[in-house]
Amino acid sequence: MASAAQRPRVFVSHSRTDAEGQLFLSHVFNIPESRYRPYFYSISPHPPHASAIRDLIRGCEALLFLLSDQMLDAEDVVHANHTRAWVGYEVGVASQLGQPVVVIEPEDHRVDLPVPGATHYIQRPATARENMTALWKSVAASACSFRGPKIEGGPLDGSRQKRGMPKPGDVVGYLDFDTMKGLDLPPVVDAIENLGIFARIRCPERQCFTPFMVPRALLERGGFPCPSCRREVASSKARAVQAIERRPDQGAPTGMSPDEFSDLLRQTRPE
């Protein structure tokens, strides 16, 4: 195993006053499963900062974006604006390089700051120091580099194929594409790709539709924001309930067991 100094780096975009977030990530990348090391630019800045940050991100494998209340500090507007400007620059550089941009938000409260360009969304414990879950062991071991196939074209491209939209036969969450195509629903989950403990989904907001990765456990629970527009994303099960309400005569969708379907029917058709 490579020593810590020899491991490839991940660039951490953060507020320099977010000590809790920095400490948490330092702990994550210090576990035995870790194959990467975090780089916190604020510890040893090298002006001129724009070119230094660009070159450093080029030498990293991913960008981790620590959301924190300090980024929205109403009492220190100058610092908050400065931080947001720089993290926006850093996300832009990483996105242009095709690196994962992983938004990490405290699980006990939201930090309402959109991060356009995010490829992953994760919620972190407020003060965890040990007993890392499988999710964080995976992040430490992979730096979230297990993304789905790169999509050609941008979000303004109308091509179904280029936008990574589902194809006939793909499983879309609890519903197969043939069921979904007749419904007036945005493609919330594009052909759920079982990439370990992550799933690839798409924001339900019609003015966003951004694809991103989210832990499957969080997707099942729902109630988390899209990292790009902050629109709340419901659970995949809740989406299936909505589909049944629109098509009450349909049978069990692909990917759902008869028992699960019966439970949903009881929810949508109470006696």
Residue-wise pLDDT tens digits, 1-46: 567 778 999 999 988 888 889 999 999 999 998 999 999 988 888 8
Query: Which pLDDT tens digit goes with each residue over 123-138?
Result: 998 775 656 788 898 8
Listed as ranges, residues in the chain with pLDDT below 70 are 1-2, 128-131, 146-196, 236-258, 260-261, 264-271
**Closest alpha carbon to 111 in 71, 63, 80, 78:** 71
- What is the per-residue pLDDT for 123? 94
Q: How many CA atoms lie within 13 A of 13 on its CB side?
A: 32
- What is the per-residue pLDDT for 242? 61
- What is the per-residue pLDDT for 240? 60
Q: How many CB atoms sit inside 10 A of residue 17's CB? A: 17
- What is the per-residue pLDDT for 181? 36
Domains within the chain, CATH numbers bracketed? 4-142 (3.40.50), 171-268 (no CATH)
